[in-house]
Amino acid sequence: MWLNKTSMTDRLYYHDPFLYEFEAEVRDQNNTPRPALILDRTAFYPTSGGQVHDTGWILAADQKFRVTEVADAEDGRIVHYLEAPLKDLKPGARIRGQIDPARRRDHMQQHSGQHVLSAAFVRLFNMPTVSFHMGDDYCSIDLDTPNLSRDQIESAERLANEIILENRPVDIRFVTRDEAGKLGLRKIPPTECDELRLIDIHDFDLTACGGTHVRQTGQIGCILLRKAEKVRQGWRVEFVAGQRAVATARRDYTVLTEGAALFSAHIYDIPQQIRKALDEIRSLRKQWEQSLEDLADAQAAALLAETPESNGRRIVVRTFSDREMGFLKLLAQKLTRLSPNVVALLATKSPQPSLVFAQSPGQPFDMSALLKKVMATLGGRGGGSKDMAQGGAPTTDGVESALESVSATLCA
């Protein structure tokens, strides 16, 4: 429970996003449900406007607390969530805040990159950005457009990187809502607040935003567009900026290199190599299926030839050590079509212990019922129709003797 519901937190990052260390006074603290702290002023950025929060440390006397999350409270105060419970940090105590500079720099690169990219899509194709998301690996913007081509993506990427290379100043300005209305902003947020904070990328983009941004576009480093996909209200474009772009390119290259090594090929030949391999697989699969047909034909004929007729029926019983269930079914089909008086009781021990029972059309038994009965003793499951049934057993134990006992029942 918060005790002191007083004034809003002074947001130091509004004026200087490069302020990584600051001093402040504790306004309020509590330990339930999570250890949390409110200060009179802070440089910590709370999750808002698509940008995720900072992390860092709070130093007080001889204590050091890790700040794991920062959030906006509804009353305009900023809550710092801490890893460990607070002791002896009463309102009025002086603390020192330290922001994780690498994380902040990364967020500034991504967020500033987003402004440049969103403006590039407006300038080139009049495609407004309707939302921005910052994730751990990549960021994305949603564009309000029914179509987006690969050429358009590449053009926007090129323009965004030109603006970055030109190292344009990025200024922070505060104006009233009325003034903002006359400035032709790219985006005005729907807030009640009368004062707006503007981010001004010199002669390129002017928009209202509360986030942290670089001072010069050159500090963004670069921007790399990646996946683009159709979403409900337009197109989502994923991107990475600055060090993230380099890290992403590095990861891509590592994966490509690994893939190329598998083919002993150059990375740029991977698609061609994959196409070739897929063609080969397709052709081999066709040959394999044809071979199985031929094998099943030959085996069915041989099995029938070696199975004597008894009571006007041929009961073929065979357990294979290494056949797919698909082959058993194929063989059962061939057997029961070759002759009108066949019952086939087939099994395989591996890769998966399986059974297939089948009879020629017109034979009087119920294969499904027979199989279910056998499965009940083997502890497996299966089913099918009157003329053909299949099932899987948990082990090979008892499979062969089960076939023999079914055969004996049928002969009786």
The residues that touch Zn ion, with contacts defined as CB under 5 A, are 111, 209, 211
Minimum Å gap between C-beta 207 and Zn ion is 7
Minimum Å gap between C-beta 77 and Zn ion is 21
> For residues 119 and 402, which CB has a smaller minimum distance to Zn ion in the complex?
119
Q: Which two tokens stand for residue 238?
A: 């994923």
Residue 58 CB partners (closer than 8 Å, separation 6+): 37, 64, 65, 67, 80, 82, 95, 96, 97, 98
Minimum Å gap between C-beta 191 and Zn ion is 14
H-only helix segments in 198-269 = 243-263
Report whether 336 contacts 301 (CB < 8 A).
no
Minimum Å gap between C-beta 43 and Zn ion is 17
Q: How many CB atoms lie within 10 A of CB 122?
A: 18
- List strand residue ranges (DSSP E) for 169-307, in order: 170-176, 195-201, 205-208, 223-231, 234-241
Minimum Å gap between C-beta 160 and Zn ion is 15
Nearest residue to Zn ion, by Cβ distance, number only: 209
In one-letter notation, the amino acid at residue 337 is R
Minimum Å gap between C-beta 123 and Zn ion is 17
Minimum Å gap between C-beta 2 and Zn ion is 29
> For residues 208 and 403, which CB has a smaller minimum distance to Zn ion in the complex?
208
Report d(CA 284, CA 288) in Å as an integer: 6
Q: What backbone phi and psi angles, to 5 degrees, belong to 46?
A: -90, 150
Q: Token pair 């999570």 is at which residue?
A: 34
Q: Which two tokens stand for residue 229?
A: 């996909």
Report d(CA 23, CA 10) in Å as an integer: 12
Report d(CA 217, CA 263) in Å as an integer: 41
Report whether 328 contacts 354 (CB < 8 A).
yes
Report d(CA 271, CA 16) in Å as an integer: 48
Give the three-state DSSP class for 116: helix
Report d(CA 147, CA 317) in Å as an integer: 63
> For residues 210 and 382, which CB has a smaller minimum distance to Zn ion in the complex?
210
> For residues 202 and 386, which CB has a smaller minimum distance to Zn ion in the complex?
202
> For residues 209 and 346, which CB has a smaller minimum distance to Zn ion in the complex?
209
Report d(CA 267, CA 325) in Å as an integer: 40
> For residues 139 and 209, which CB has a smaller minimum distance to Zn ion in the complex?
209
Q: What backbone phi and psi angles, to 5 degrees, belong to 148?
A: -150, 120
> For residues 244 and 323, which CB has a smaller minimum distance to Zn ion in the complex?
244
> For residues 174 and 253, which CB has a smaller minimum distance to Zn ion in the complex?
174
Minimum Å gap between C-beta 127 and Zn ion is 18
Minimum Å gap between C-beta 210 and Zn ion is 7
> For residues 35 and 211, which CB has a smaller minimum distance to Zn ion in the complex?
211
